[in-house]
Amino acid sequence: MVKVHLLVGEDASQSAEGSFSAGSSVGQLKSYFEQLEEKLRVKSSLRMAFQCLSWISTLLFIAQVSSMPTKCQLQRTLVAKTHNLLETMTGPFPLQCLDDIPVEIKSPTWALQSKNSKQDVVAAKAVYKTLRKVSSLMENEGYPQSWDADKLVKFQIIVDRQIEESECIMRIKTQKEEDDFPLRDAALTDYFDKLQKLLKEKEFSVCGWEVVRRELFSVLQFIVVENSNNFWSTV
């Protein structure tokens, strides 16, 4: 008696192995293959359902962020979320990229800080410009495959939402003697121009992007941690 063994995918060790004698009827064979076809159809449907759920999750997140009330102020919770997403979208900074960290690029943290209430609006304008620079920088392509695509999309959505909500900050007038925004803006522009140049020089490599992620993480962390509660509530 000749036996025919058929294996299908991951179910090979379970119910997908068939055993027929050489004299098996056409009806038996047809029935068996119909069962296999149904198993494959179910597995394909499960994969499609999982992909749909992933997209639905992202769309619900977009709807949730978009439904937030619009106010002329920076929201600490949103900046903190972008900071957390940037941290968790991949693993620790790769050791093989340590030599790619440029010593000449230093974030101008002084430009993002409010030392007293008179500087709150000017510092808020600097943070707004920083968010715009971050958004522009992240428009580049060629992200590392190790980055979580879902978290990356959420990061970009929150940054753009914060830009939209806080754009009105730029229209708030300040005392001329307290307005050093042009100096802050120039320092931030120089910093982000260097990051953009680094990405191009590294040809948008994994290490190039990891250096940028490291820098942005540090900047967002400074904004969230170093500015007092008054900074967020008075603008």
Q: What is the pLDDT of residues 217-235, one digit of tens each?
A: 999 999 998 876 666 654 4
pLDDT of the residue at 176: 75
Which pTM was predicted?
0.69
CA-based nearest residue to 123, from 79, 183, 80 = 183
pLDDT at 65 over 90: no
Residue 188 identity (one-letter amino acid): L
Provide Rg for the chain, Cα atoms: 27
In the chain, pLDDT over 70 holds for what percent of residues? 66
131-172 pLDDT tens trace: 999 999 999 989 999 999 999 999 999 999 999 988 999 988
3-state secondary structure of 119: helix
Token pair 């808020």 is at which residue? 124
Task: Check if the beta carbon of residue 139 is closer than 8 Å to that of residue 160.
Answer: no
Choose between 42 and 189: higher pLDDT: 189
Average pLDDT of the segment spanning 34-54:
62
Helix ranges, 67-148 (H): 76-88, 120-137
Choose between 179 and 92: higher pLDDT: 92
